[in-house]
Structure 1
Amino acid sequence: MLAKTYGCAVFGVSANLITIETHVGQGSKCYLVGLPDSTIKESIQRVESALKNTGFFFPRRKVIINLAPADIRKEGSAYDLPIALSILEASEQVELKGLDEYVIMGELALDGTIRAIKGALPIALEAKNRGITKLILPEENAIEAAMVEGIEVFGLSHLRETIQFIRNKITIAPTYVDVHALFGESHDSFDVDFSQVQGQEAVKRAFEIAAAGGHNLIMIGPPGAGKTMLAKRLPTILPPFSLPEALEVTKIHSVAGKLMGKHALLTHRPFRSPHHTISNAALVGGGSFPQPGEISLAHHGVLFLDELPEFNRNALEVMRQPLEDRNVFISRAKWSLEFPANFMLVASMNPCPCGYYNHPNKDCVCGPGQVQRYLNRISGPLLDRIDMHIEIVPVQFEEMSTGRAAESSEFVRKRVMEARRIQQNRFIPFPKIHSNAMMSSQQVNEFCHLDQASQQLLSVAMDKLQLSARAFDKIRKVARTIADLAKSSHIQSEHIAEAITYRNLDRENWAG
């Protein structure tokens, strides 16, 4: 007898509908076909044990299980549950009417318990696109999948329970999620705040500008100056997620297996801080079965690279294209895909190997040329793609001990959001542009007009700092953001002057 049900193969950040066909006939062997990986091939042992411990048996006849379309590679353990159910139907151990009306995914434990899977949200989206409105998923993934409107998601915990449900022996209500209520639960709650940072007013100002325009930023300063502390507080002043952004980022984290239990919807912009030993594939994505990398997990959020010169240079260089295009293309011989990567890059570094070059109180012990060689670990093209360079000096004791309350993230965030609203109105004709940092050269020329005094000031800076054409555009973008924060419709010379000060690493003889 032939039985059929549906599952989904997650590939990149989307899913493809898979038909699971099972035929039981004369013979004695089990064949699993349709380009399954080794994890799926091992499912036969898991399914056999789960069936036995649920009161059924694995048929000792010829069993053919086909995962169609057969030319798409399948991976993972999430096919256990649909394979087990289709075997029960095909071997006529139990009648499962309507099995082909569901998309079913779940990993089976040996006792029949259903374990969580990755990618429940893209699976639900694919099911809806294909016109299938009923999903059976592990209980832990039900809330995540139920965020897709127009489908019924049934979260189940055991194979026996699933069989009884399909046979209408028990009634289980579909999982319901109030997406807007879930989205607003912890929208504005943070564990850290800029009010906890004493001093560093100039650096806070730079962070406000970066947040308002979505600009990439690098901090240069000695150990203990507060670089990491400031970077961790950047998400607290970024504009809150819109619901489409939250769903888009949640889908990426779902595919990567980063969502667990009740945290089915990300309500805060992601902050990713990978270690400097990270590989190229882990940073940008890829692998035998492609997975999103850190730059995609930081989509619509912040990617913080602490101690930037310590990262593998090849890993840093592969970020150059995503920083410009805001997505990353992974191409191999048999497949190619695109991961979104619209993130803010925030990096930090010491000014030299010992960390105390230009320190007001401590002497640098680095030898001749060491400082420049240390800076040269970061390529010029990568630095060129970072809009703002900030030099940080340690906070003095008198500043730390004043006890004076610093400005909270809430007030800074309001100014940032007001500047973003100005930008949204400006870019209404350009639906893919959401901030000043995303402007193309053509849009920079259109929206960043300079008066004569500003042009002369920028001309001197270009000549003295030997800036590239890309840096020329970066300065104008930052100046446009400074003008937006000041609610000025035109870029003034003081806006250009402040933007130029955020190109510290371009200064002549900065490193001696």
Structure 2
Amino acid sequence: MTVGTTFSVALVGLTGHPVEVESMLTPGLPHVQVIGLPDASVGESRERVRAAVVACGLTWPMSRLVISLRPASLPKTGSVHDLAIAVAALVSAGQVPAGVVRGRVHLGELGLDGRVHPVTGILPAVATAVEHGRHEVVVPEGNAAEARLVPGARVTSVAHLGQLAEQYGVGAVAAPAQLPRAPRPPAPAPAPEPDLADVIGQPEARQALEVAAAGGHHLLMVGPPGAGKTMLASRLPGLLPDLTEPEAVEVTSVHSVAGTYDPATGLMRRPPFEDPHHTATQVALVGGGSGLPRPGAISRAHRGVLFLDEAPEFRSQALESLRQPLESGHLVVARARGTARFPARFQLVLAANPCPCGRASGRGQECTCSPMAQRRYAARLSGPLLDRIDIQLGVGAVTRADLLAAEPGEPSRVVAERVRRARRRQAQRWRRQGWRINAEVPGKELRERTRAADPRALAPLEQALERGALTLRGLDRIVRVAWTLADLAGSEHPGQDEIGAALALRMRGSHG
């Protein structure tokens, strides 16, 4: 009996695992059995595959057919294995020569009429195949552009199973019935990034935004409604440099798995911006779903910005789920069927009102909230979370003088050029250690370098640490911001002035 063998790829998070798909006819009543820890969608593939084969005019074997997905201990999810199962079945039935498909990777979902439909996660799946030496990859026509982004992949795209069967020497087969399709609208032109020149006034907030962009620092803005917090946050991605090639592949892979990627746009070259609503659940932020988890907003913001507007209104569990990725740069999501690891190195931007009514800033004479209500509102952002925020800034309301000021603020392109120069200095300084920006450097390294350059520079922070006004983590984050201020100024290292300025940037947003 012929054993049909081909390959597919199973994704667990962003990690791909080659799957050997074996098929063999065994004595018994006509039946298809799929083994190897398939989930419900993989188990249902036997009906999709049988219908697709018959629709193409091919003969389905009238015998017991066993499909094995190896390694058997790895959970298999989704419909991506349909095409590989169909090819392996045709080999075991003697309709496709075994040597033609051996070593090839087949990815795609089959329709009942034989058409091959696109699936999510093609980019990391094809990259996995190439990494394991399998360069011949067959993908749905709708995924071809995305698959060809992987260097070294020799991609064959197919629209239906009959087309693939003809390529494998089966002979003329019946094409599936052509169902009417709605014309695909052209891809919309990318919207221009918001410009910092649109922001009226707010010189301190603009400086904080520039510092955050230059060093990859997290930012909290506290101020009344209408002060421009959301407007400022939406302009942060425009100050960040383009993603490097490895970063672009990594970010594109995350969005491919999440199903939010348009392959017509090519690799994602700009830092992503995620701004979930404050009603978002912990699963929406972290990721999850039935079976193996999918990326949430935290991972979709990888190498970009995660903006939480009205941050105190988010659920406590959702906010606390940010603590681990803020420290580690990755996220581990455990579910019953497996554990997935997603990259999550993002810049967090929080915006908050000073109180529930939002009018407690300034003299606070118009605030209608009781002191207890103000304390409860402020306490929604926990101390451990705030301790991880490098820059904490109070944003005041725009005044009439700001509105009537004749000179507009600097545009994003001017500020972005200073950010690029500062980041070049950081990359040059930390090149031997493999770090690129100050936010990635361990606190011990920063403290030792600062103390070696100026033994007196850390004295104010050490005194604050002694009084209990600062934690060691908070001290390290102030030192990080001080190094970024020095980079923006073109200095070799921070001095007492930069330390003082960084301390001020952290303390201005203190609100109880």
TM-score for the superposition, normalised by structure 2 = 0.90
> Is residue 2:127 matched to residue 1:125?
yes
Q: Could you tell me how far apart the structure 1 residues matched to 2:489 and 2:200 are?
A: 24
What amino acid is aligned across from residue 25 of structure 2 in structure 1? V
1:280 aligned to 276, 279, 282, which one? 282
- 3-state SS of the aligned residue for 2:431? coil
Aligned residue among 389, 392, 403 for 2:392: 389
Alpha-carbon distance in structure 1 between the residues aligned to 2:68 and 2:134? 20
Q: Is the 8 A contact 1:467 1:506 kept in 2?
A: no
Tell me by how many angstroms 1:456 deviates. Answer: 4.7
Instruction: Tell me if structure 1 keeps the 8 A contact 2:135–2:153.
Output: yes
Q: CA, structure 1 residues 14+453, in 2 after alignment: closer, same or farther (shift >3 Å)?
A: closer
Question: For residues 27 and 334 of structure 1, what CA distance do their matches in structure 2 show?
Answer: 32
Q: State the partner residue of 1:38.
A: 40
Q: Could you say which residue in structure 1 is the equivalent of 2:5?
A: 4
| Residues 1:399 and 2:402 are matched in the alignment | yes
Q: Distance in 1 between matches of 2:226 and 2:468?
A: 29
Q: Is the 8 A contact 2:23 2:92 kept in 1?
A: yes
Rounded to whole Å, the distance in 2 between the matches of 1:96 and 1:321 is 49
| Residues 260-275 of structure 1 aligned to structure 2 (within 5 Å) | 260-275=262-277
> Cα deviations across residues 355-403 of structure 1 (Å, max 9, x unaligned)?
1111468711101221111101111011000001011112124423446
Task: Please name the residue that 1:150 is paired with.
Answer: 152
2:103 alignment partner in structure 1: 101
Q: Which runs of structure 2 are paired with 1:403-414 in the superposition (5 Å)?
A: 404-414=407-417
Q: Residues 145-197 of structure 1: CA distance to partner in whole angstroms, max 9, x if unpaired? A: 21222220112111111112233979xxxxxxxxxxxxxxx9x9833111122
- Between the aligned residues of both structures, percent identity stands at 39
Who is 2:258 aligned against?
A: 256
Deviation of the 1:491 alpha carbon? 1.7
- Deviation, 1:463, is 6.7
SS of match in other structure, 2:254: helix
Change over 3 Å in CA distance of 1:33–1:392 after alignment to 2: same
**2-side partners of 1:360 and 1:418: how far apart?**
40
Matched, 1:310 2:316: no
Aligned residues of 2:193 and 2:235 also touching (Cα < 8 A): no
Assess if the C-alpha contact under 8 Å between 1:97 and 1:166 holds in 2. no
Code of the residue aligned with 1:504 in structure 2: it is: M
Q: Distance in 2 between matches of 1:88 and 1:489?
A: 67
In 2, the alpha carbon distance for the partners of 1:213 and 1:459 equals 23
Corresponding position of 1:15: 16
User: C-alpha displacement at 1:69, in angstroms?
Assistant: 1.4
Which of 336, 345, 350 is residue 347 of structure 1 equivalent to? 350
Give, in angstroms, the shift of residue 101 of structure 1.
3.0
Structure 2 contact 4–98 (Cα < 8 Å) conserved: no
Structure 1 residue matching 2:53: 3-state secondary structure: helix
Point out the more displaced range, 206-215 or 405-414.
405-414
Cα RMSD of the aligned pairs, angstroms, is 2.5
Q: Which residue number in structure 2 is paired with residue 296 of structure 1?
A: 299
Shift of 1:262: 0.9
Helix, strand or coil: the match of 1:363? coil
Say yes or no: does 1:90 pair with 2:92. Answer: yes
Aligned length: 493
2:372 to 369, 372, 375: 369
Q: Taking structure 1 as reference, are residues 369 and 505 closer, same or farther at Cα in structure 2, changes over 3 Å only?
A: farther
Answer with 254-263 or 444-453: which moved more. Answer: 444-453
1:96-495 aligned at under 5 Å gives the runs 97-167=99-169, 190-287=192-289, 288-331=291-334, 335-359=338-362, 363-402=366-405, 404-431=407-434, 433-449=435-451, 451=454, 454-458=457-461, 466-495=469-498
Q: 5+ residue gaps in structure 1?
A: 171-185
Q: Secondary structure at the match of 2:21?
A: strand
Q: Kindly tell me: are residues 31 and 333 of structure 1, through their superposed partners in 2, closer, same or farther at Cα, counting changes over 3 Å?
A: closer
For residues 330 and 444 of structure 1, do their structure 2 counterparts lie closer, same or farther at Cα, with a shift above 3 Å needed?
same
What does the per-residue CA deviation read over 1:414-468, in whole Å, with 9 as the maximum and x for residues that have no partner? 101111111111112211x221122212211233237476445445655778121
User: 2:312, 2:377 within 8 Å by CA — same for their partners in 1?
Assistant: yes
| Aligned-partner SS, 1:101 | coil
Q: Distance in 1 between matches of 2:118 and 2:273?
A: 25
Structure 2: unaligned runs, 5 residues or longer: 173-187
Q: TM-score, normalised by structure 1?
A: 0.90
Answer whether contact 1:115 1:138 (CA < 8 A) is retained: yes
- In structure 2, the CA distance between the partners of 1:225 and 1:463, relative to structure 1 (3 Å rule), is farther
Match of 1:68 among 57, 70, 85: 70
AA in 2 matched with 1:15: G
Evaluate the alpha carbon distance shift between residue 366 and residue 463 of structure 1 in structure 2; reply closer, same or farther with a 3 A threshold. farther
Q: 2:182 aligns to what?
A: none
CA distance in 2, matches of 1:393, 1:506: 11
The whole-number CA distance in structure 2 between the counterparts of 1:169 and 1:300 is 49
CA–CA distance in structure 2, aligned partners of residues 477 and 88 of structure 1: 61
Cα displacement string for residues 40-60 of structure 1 (whole angstroms, at most 9, x for unaligned residues): 111122222222222224333
Most deviating of 5-14 and 22-31: 22-31
